[in-house]
Amino acid sequence: MQRSVYILVGLALLIWSCEDILEVPDISDQTVPILAPTEGSVLTTNAVGFDWETVEDATAYNIQIATPDFENAVQLVLDSVVAVDSLGNVATRIDQNLFNGNYQWRIKAFNSGFETGYTVNSFQVNGDDDLDLVAPNTPQLVSPANASSQAETQVSFVWTREDISGTAERDSIFIFLDEALQNLAIKGLGANKTYSTELTEGTYYWFVRAYDAAGNESEASTPFNLNITN
CB neighbours of residue 52 within 10 Å = 21
**38 pLDDT band (50/70/90 cuts)?**
very high
Distance CA(133)–CA(46), nearest Å, equals: 10
List, for residues 145-161, the tens digit of each pLDDT value: 999 999 999 999 999 99
Q: Is the pLDDT of residue 45 over 60?
A: yes
What residue segments make up the domains of the chain, in order of their start? Answer: 34-125, 140-228
N- to C-terminal Cα separation, the chain: 89
**9 pLDDT band (50/70/90 cuts)?**
very low
When pLDDT is averaged across residues 99-119 and rounded to a whole number, the result is 93
> What CATH code would you report for 140-228?
2.60.40.10
pLDDT of res. 3 = 52
**Alpha helices for 78-123 (secondary structure H):** none
Q: What predicted TM-score, i.e. pTM, was given to this entire model?
A: 0.56
List, for residues 59-90, the tens digit of each pLDDT value: 999 999 998 889 888 888 999 999 988 888 88
Query: Residue 14: which region, alpha, beta or left (left: phi > 0; alpha: psi -120 to 50)?
Result: alpha
Distance CA(67)–CA(128), nearest Å, equals: 18
Q: ∠ CA 119-122-126 to the nearest 5 degrees?
A: 145
- The topology under which CATH files domain 34-125 is Immunoglobulin-like (2.60.40)
Q: Do domains 34-125 and 140-228 have the same CATH topology?
A: yes
Q: Is the pLDDT of residue 5 over 50?
A: no
Q: In whole numbers, what is the pLDDT of the chain averaged over residues?
A: 88
Burial class (CB in 10 A: 0-12, 13-18, 19+), 59: middle
Provide the CA 156 distance to its chain's centre, in angstroms.
Answer: 34
pLDDT of res. 202 = 95
